[in-house]
Every structure is written in structure tokens, then in C-alpha cells.
Amino acid sequence: MHKVIIVTGGSRGIGAATAQLAAQRGYAVCVNYLNNAAAANAVTKLIRQNGGEAIAVAADVASEVDVSRMFDLVDNAFGTVTALVNNAGILERQMRVEDMDAGRLQRVLRTNVIGCFLCAREAVRRMSTRLGGAGGAIVNVSSGASRLGSPGEYVDYAASKGAIDTLTIGLAKEVASDGIRVNAVRPGFIYTDIHADGGEPHRVDRLKERVPMKRGGEAMEVAAAILWLLSEEASYSTGTFVDVTGGK
């Protein structure tokens, strides 16, 4: 089967590492991004230089129109998607719940939760053997925050990842007999740009001593877990979680 993957938020961080590793494993890769075309094009260029197939597609995962258009584009470019990585996610400035306004809460929940639902919906419509598809696999990128709650930093973000955990459990059961596996990874403190968005670029270095392994994680270490969950080696795993947190 021709392996076709969509990695949302594939332009930077964990998504970019996942896109690269997927290409090395033989997937044709759709590198989704929101604004940073230069970063997305750098990822696709590297994949093509190494003999792989990749396209960069701008789409806001929280927009139903954008998501439908992206999946249609992939249908035309590579054929039916066989793997989805729901990786795009955001957080905002560190603050306590008492200071959060509705606009912030809506932005975080729209991207992190509705975005995953919309992409999962389009993937299921194409993959489900009940609907004439050939099956597939979905990995949602949750966070260790769903267990820890991120007090004083971003409880809204942590709660959005709690929703992703529940989506993973529920959707996995819903489509288990339709040839689709749905799993999640929960990264811990990983060196990416996301911490600067929270107002603390060096957050991982501040917190790494609290990690049993005493270090932050690399995006490629998360990508490796994602690709394993997508692979046939994980053929009897669905509705489950791989924590990539250095033991935290």
C-alpha cells in the first residue's frame, strides 16, 4: 500500500521531525502549517533532496474549509491518506486561570481540540473500511500536561490536552472495527519554539532537573514514538498512550 501521511503543524518542532522521519520510512508527506511557509518549505525541500515525496500545505486546522481543502489536495497529490498525525497545537502566555479571558480560551481550544476533531473526521471518512476505505492510523499529540495540569502556566492548554486524551480513547473504540487505530503520544519538556510562545524560551532548561532523566527531550525522540504507533509493529495497539517524558 502507498503510504501517505498528513502531519499537522509539520513546519517546526515535533511536527517537522515527524515529517522527516515519516519520509525516511517511505511515506509521501503533507507538511501542514499555519503561517510559516519558509519553515514548511525547508522541511519539504530536505525530504525531496533525500529522495522522498512531500508537499507543504497552508491550512488552519481549526477551519473546516481549510481542513477539507487540505485533505482534498492530498487526495489529488498522493492518493488517499493512510496516516494522520494531529500535531498542530498552541499555548499562550503563562498566567493563572483567574487572568484568562474568553478570547484566549477560544483560541487554544479551537486549535488544540476542534482542529484535532476536524482532521480526524476527514481522515476517518477516507480510511474507514465501513465507508469503503482501506484503513489507516491516527496519532494525536497530547502532552504530559494532561496529567500534570500546568498550574500557574497554562491550565487551559493542559485541559485541551485532556480533551485530546478522551478523543483518543473514544475515537479508537468507535473506529476499531473500521480498520483504523487511534493512539496518542504525551511529550514532556521538549526543545522547540513553543516555550517562547508561553513567554519563556528557556523553560525546558529551567525545568529539566525535575525530570527523572535530568534532561529535556528532542523532537526526534517524540517523532520516533509517533512513527512506531503508526507502524505495523503497533498493529494491536489502539486507544493507548506513549509518554515521552524522561520519566516525569
Told to check if 11 binds ligand NAP by CB under 6 A, we report yes
Catalytic residue among 27, 33, 154, 157: 157
The C-alpha cell that represents 231 in the structure block: 507502524
Contact range with ligand NAP by CB under 6 A, out of 8-16, 124-132, 165-173, 232-240: 8-16
**Is there binding between residue 36 and ligand NAP (CB under 6 A)?**
yes
Q: Closest CB to ligand NAP among 128 and 204? A: 204
Cell numbers linked to 69 = 481543502
Helices 37-49 and 13-24, axial angle in degrees (round to 10): 20
3 state DSSP class of 27? coil
Residues 70-109 that bind ligand NAP (CB under 6 A): 87-90
How many CB atoms sit inside 10 A of residue 132's CB? Answer: 8
Q: What is the separation of C-alpha 227 from the centre of its chain, rounded to a whole number of angstroms?
A: 12
Q: Is 62 in the site for ligand NAP (CB under 6 A)?
A: yes
Strand order in the sheet with 136-141: 54-58, 28-33, 4-7, 83-86, 136-141, 180-187, 241-244
Check if 236 is active-site: no
Binding mask 187-206 for ligand NAP (x = CB under 6 A): x-xx-xxx------------
Binding site for ligand NAP (CB under 6 A): 8-9, 11-15, 32-36, 39, 60-62, 87-90, 111, 115, 141, 143, 187, 189-190, 192-194
